[in-house]
Amino acid sequence: MNEDVKKEFQLGKVKVELSKAELEKMLQEIDKEEFDYPICCKRKGNSLIVLFDALGNGKVLHTDNCKDWNVGNYHKNWIDTTNKDRWEQIPYDKERGLYHGQWVWCWDNPWTQVAQFRKYDAINKCSYTFSGREDGFKYDNYSATCPEYMKEAFQDLINNEKALGTIGIEF
């Protein structure tokens, strides 16, 4: 075999020789490999969290003041999620659209004016405990944003307390 036709790879301490046809077949199989999207990944080295809907395509979910990316922005040129040096896959609850460790509002149906603000446990589909352990409390509802009707109710309560002079917070 000449150099144009064969490629040599070192896998650990074992060298593998592949013909050009074998290499192309192997690459086609890798390209065919399907992933169960969406995939949620945290970038190693910072707190950037991206929800990928295809290989290299995804929306920013969380940044922690990263000036290069804005929450909600969609990009089609991310380094592939298969790059384990760059990305760590984190659990994602597709049904609720929430990732593991995300801050969420939680409440039960009978108590629509009371909500807890906790971290979400995407593995067990519940919230963390008060002490920060996973598999904590289960609620009927989880939301990454405070529902509008709750904001209005909370604002009414705050306005009433301000009028009485007993509260000093802004909502």
Q: In which domain, by residue range, is 22 found?
A: 1-33
What pLDDT is attached to residue 171? 44
Highest mean pLDDT among 26-35, 74-83, 104-113, 117-126: 117-126
Return the ∠ at Cα 141 (arms to 157 and 120), rounded to 5°: 100
The residue written with tokens 């070192």 in the block is 10
Indicate if 26 and 64 belong to the same structural domain. no
The Cα–Cα gap between 14 and 32 comes to 26
Q: Which two tokens stand for residue 116?
A: 């807890």
DSSP the chain: --TTTEEEEEETTEEEEEEHHHHHHHHHHHHH----S-EEEEETTS--EEEEEETTEEEEEE-SS-TT--TT-EES-PPPTT-TTTEEEE-EETTTTEETT-EEEEE-TT-TT--EEEEEETTTTEEPPTTS-SS----SEEESS--HHHHHHHHHHHHHHHHHT------
Indicate if 104 and 164 belong to the same structural domain. yes
For 78-90, what is each residue's pLDDT tens digit? 888 778 888 999 9
Please state the domain count of the chain. Answer: 3
Indicate if 81 and 103 belong to the same structural domain. no
Instruction: Flag whether pLDDT at 149 surpasses 80.
Output: no
Instruction: Flag whether pLDDT at 100 surpasses 90.
Output: yes
Indicate if 86 and 98 belong to the same structural domain. no
